[in-house]
Amino acid sequence: MTALLPRLRRFAHGLARNAADADDLCQMTVERALSSRQQWQEGTRLDSWMYRIMRNIFIDETRSASRRARTFADPDDGLEVGVQGAQEATVELSMVDRALATLPDEQREAVLLVMVEGYKYVEAAEIIGCPIGTLTSRLLRGREALLQHLGEAA
């Protein structure tokens, strides 16, 4: 589970679009996975199981927040991407991050799982809990929207 933390955190950041909320999402995911570890089936992929837990927590938290009309900090607050001297890479990553933030949740999570995390379509569809055709459609629309958004930014 410890080896999965960097990947989980990256996925959490893509979902939450905010470093503090992403850290909270990671923590809740690990807590729930540990408390529900008896539900994980030996021989199945631990990473897929934890991604599904994270996704479900994110959906629950988003619904809860909208009911409470709670506002979140700006997605760019507190982000420090890249290393000193790599300003161009930081700018490009920031542009991609902003472009990802414009996508609807369904498209963003499909893009994150397949294009960022490297999951196969079948695996990503299983994590999301949708048919593979639906995932493919979301991914296609997400890619097109990203390319259009990044093309306009250039």
pLDDT tens string 58-114: 988 887 776 655 444 455 554 554 445 455 555 566 777 888 888 999 999 999 999
Residue-wise pLDDT for 113-153, tens only, equals 998 888 999 999 999 999 999 999 999 999 999 888 888 76
Give the burial class of 151: count Cβ atoms within 10 A of its Cβ; 0-12 exposed, 13-18 middle, 19 or more buried. exposed
Greater confidence (13 vs 72) lies with 13
Q: Which domains does the chain have, with CATH numbers?
A: 1-79 (1.10.1740.10), 86-154 (1.10.10.10)
Q: Residue for token digits 């990473």?
A: 47
pTM for the predicted model, two decimal places: 0.54
pLDDT at 82: 46
- Stretch (H or E) spanning 135: helix 132-153
